[in-house]
Structure 1
Amino acid sequence: QRVALARALITRPQVLLLDEPLSALDPFLRIRMRGELRKLQRELGISFIHVTHGQDEALALADEIVVMNNAVIEQAGPARDVFNAPRTRFVAQFMGGHNVVALPEGHFAIRTDAVGVGAPGSGIAASVTGIEYQGTHVSVLARIAGDQEVTALVPDTEFFSSPRSPGDPVGLVWDARNLHKLTA
């Protein structure tokens, strides 16, 4: 990958097109190469157009993100804005880290780390369908009315102070300010 990048840079381009440049690398090397790409961009002062299907890669490297679906731009903007306020169901699901829920007022995206798991009777009634320990947090998958699956990322210390198991009834809670209405 470094040799291919050096060959492309030798011509001193004004814009560099990178098409899935990190896709064949293992996760550790991929993170190192992201750092090298950021450093090169800063030192050379040229624009990179970086095509990727890796959301973490896009968020780590992009000043601006363009999310396309079937050759149509679904959303474009600063990386943080696109991640925090997806406009469409596709963008919310593609960027990851979001739930898409149908409520009486319409369809909304809410970040998985903005969903809390409480006692039955609090918030929206749900049933735990899966638990996945992920180190710093635990992913709790739950089913709510309308056969909708909602994921809550709960800090590991919080989860293990009140552990849940598949089949347990819970209440899912969130701040309504964290809901983002979707247009499609």
Structure 2
Amino acid sequence: MATKEKSVGCQKNKNKTFEVCSINSSAVEEKLFGRADKEVEEDDDGPVVFICGKCRLPVGDSMSWDGSEDEQNQIKLKRVTNNVIIGKDTRFFELNKRSVCLVLDLICRSCHSVLGMVYTSTPRNLDHKRSTFCLSVANIDSYVLGSGAQMLAAEGPKEQLVTVEYRHSVEQQLTEMKLLVVSMAQRLEQIEAGLKKGCDEA
């Protein structure tokens, strides 16, 4: 994702409107927050935009990051865009035999794909899940801001690179033009001399 870009634990999908990648939630979290013993690199990638895996509509960004759930292959965001609709039908979701939750689906406004879920009722040990939007990594992609590499050429006529061959060509053309000017000047002098002689004889 930039001319020299770092992946966010992902592989690029080519021939897309956006340059997108599949997400590794642990890699994203490490990239966003790093570790105390690591220095922040000056050329680190910019914020990550999360988009619907089907229609590429933006659904959230890393500025709202709230962690990841590797066991469920989910990322958690504090906020999402208006492109995400919270479903109305509550359903049971069983994390394991002792952890049955009630959830609402998160749906893409454009293509109606299910992007993840919101927990509405959980056992006490899972209460932290109820305050976030949990997006399924399998159903979203990501785009790193500032990762574009393609640029249009500068406007105006193309400038010729000054090479030895180009300089030699220009010098040769100038020499030919000088010879032509000298030849025309000599011819003009001859014509003027002829006219003057004719006038004197008359």
When normalised by structure 1's length, the TM-score is 0.29
Q: Which has the higher contact order (CA 8 A, sep 6+)?
A: 2
Structure holding more strand per residue: 1
The structure having more radius of gyration, on CA atoms, is 2
When normalised by structure 2's length, the TM-score is 0.27
